[in-house]
Amino acid sequence: MKKRIFSLSLLAMSSVMLVNCSNNDDSSGTDPNAGLYSEVLTDLSKDVITKTYEDLNNKAIALKTAVNALTIGNETALTAVKEAWKATRSPWEQSEGFLYGPVDTGGIDPAMDTWPVDVNAMNDILNSGNPITTATIEANVEARGFHLIEYLVWGINGNKAASALTARELEYLRAAAADLQNNTQLLYDGWKESGGNFARHFINAGNTGNQGYASQKAALEEIINGLITIADEVSTGKIQTPLDEGVSQEESRFSNNSKKDFADNMRSIKNIYLGDFNGGTNSGLTDIVAPKNSTLDANIKAKIDGAIAAIEAIPGTFTDAVTNNVPAVENARDKVAELQVLIQSQLKPFIANN
């Protein structure tokens, strides 16, 4: 089962404590930063988070279409599925800096991204002789989602040929791709204005009657906690665990997409900090920090870029580097850890006390 080192609930509790201890509590409605906070919370929820989930859902639809077109022996179609999987994977990893809201309360994260995949559970389903449907998938959390699809498409050694596919595997793939897209649809619907509109909890934070966040700072702290959580997970989990326990614990190893996963996690932090998604120019946390502490702002930006660069500089595949280029892997781990410490020790208190 996917592990998260920081408890979101504990981080949320610390957020409340920081907000309550602040000398600039915005609960009175007279906070001079209220307008800026509103702009940042609106842009991040609508133009970064919701749009990321929209992109994810669109790409999951394309993946489902590619899987449905796959036949035994068709290498071109198999390549199309692989490319569609990678395309869908990117916005998902870029969403992992904001694993709150429907993705958390609806249990969607483990339904989509549990790893390592339980090969024994997968084989039990394949060998059962029963029809493989989305209901079958939903009942087997350890053998569904991105990594189940990845395993069936690439194989354990990453070089599976289309001729090696079986009819049962195709049946499983189609159900798994449909299940994945059902979950991406739930995520997008949960945030968009015409759906569950979870974004309103950020947009209306501190307003009377808002059931989400008692203050704008509480909402901002939730956002920052999400950044802390993913930075910690990448450094101590996604990178360190394979160093300690071997490549069986490496995420996305069958597709050799691990480094891209980790870098996209850092881009998730970058998108939230800058208020940017796919080239958009919206308000982000930088717009709160930069006017009052340009040094901290520049340091955060440099640490984000440094973490991405260090991950991408790992030679070859992550699988190979865990054994043959350990210093490069450790450097990437350390750069991500430095970013996590900076966000937790400086950015979070800055927001609470300004």
Contact 152, 173 (CB under 8 A): yes
Contact 114, 141 (CB under 8 A): yes
What confidence score (pLDDT) does residue 272 get? 98
Peptide bond before residue 110 is cis, with ω within 30 degrees of 0: no
Q: From the CB of residue 115, how many other CB atoms can be counted at a distance below 10 Å? A: 22
Instruction: Look at the chain and report how many structural domains it folds into.
Output: 1
The answer to whether residue 2 sits within a structural domain is no
What confidence score (pLDDT) does residue 208 get? 85
Alpha carbon distance 216, 221 (integer Å): 9
The answer to whether residue 242 sits within a structural domain is yes
CA-closest candidate to residue 90, choices 266, 300, 332: 266
The answer to whether residue 1 sits within a structural domain is no
The answer to whether residue 181 sits within a structural domain is yes
Secondary structure (3-state) at 229: helix
What single-letter DSSP state applies at residue 28? G
pLDDT at 24 over 70: no
CA-closest candidate to residue 119, choices 86, 142, 102, 88: 142
φ/ψ of residue 144, rounded to 5: -150, 175
The answer to whether residue 271 sits within a structural domain is yes
Q: How confident is the model at residue 27 (pLDDT cuts 50, 70, 90)?
A: very low
**Residue where the block lists tokens 């994945």:** 180
pLDDT in tens, 307-326: 999 999 999 999 999 999 99
Alpha carbon distance 267, 285 (integer Å): 14
The answer to whether residue 3 sits within a structural domain is no
What confidence score (pLDDT) does residue 213 get? 95
The answer to whether residue 199 sits within a structural domain is yes
pLDDT in tens, 86-128: 999 999 999 999 999 999 999 999 999 999 999 999 999 999 9
Q: How confident is the model at residue 30 (pLDDT cuts 50, 70, 90)?
A: low
Give the DSSP letter string of 178-222. HHHHHHHHHHHHHHSTTTT-THHHHHTTTSTT-SS-SSHHHHHHH
**Residue where the block lists tokens 């195709």:** 170
Cα 330–Cα 52–Cα 183 angle in degrees, nearest 5 = 95
Q: Could you list the residue range(s) of the whole structural domain that residue 73 is in?
A: 8-353
**CATH of residue 257:** 1.20.1420.20
Contact 307, 336 (CB under 8 A): yes
Q: How confident is the model at residue 212 (pLDDT cuts 50, 70, 90)?
A: confident
The answer to whether residue 186 sits within a structural domain is yes
pLDDT at 351 over 60: yes
Q: What is the average pLDDT score of the chain?
A: 93
Take residue 281 and report the two structure tokens written for it: 């120019």
In the chain, the largest separation of any two C-alpha atoms, in whole Å, equals 67
Put simply, whether the predicted model's pTM sits higher than 0.85 gets the answer yes
Alpha carbon distance 277, 268 (integer Å): 9
What is the 3 state secondary structure string of 111-173?
HHHCCCCCHHHHHHHHHCCCCCCHHHHHCCHHHCCHHHHHHHHHCCCCCCCHHHCCHHHHHHH
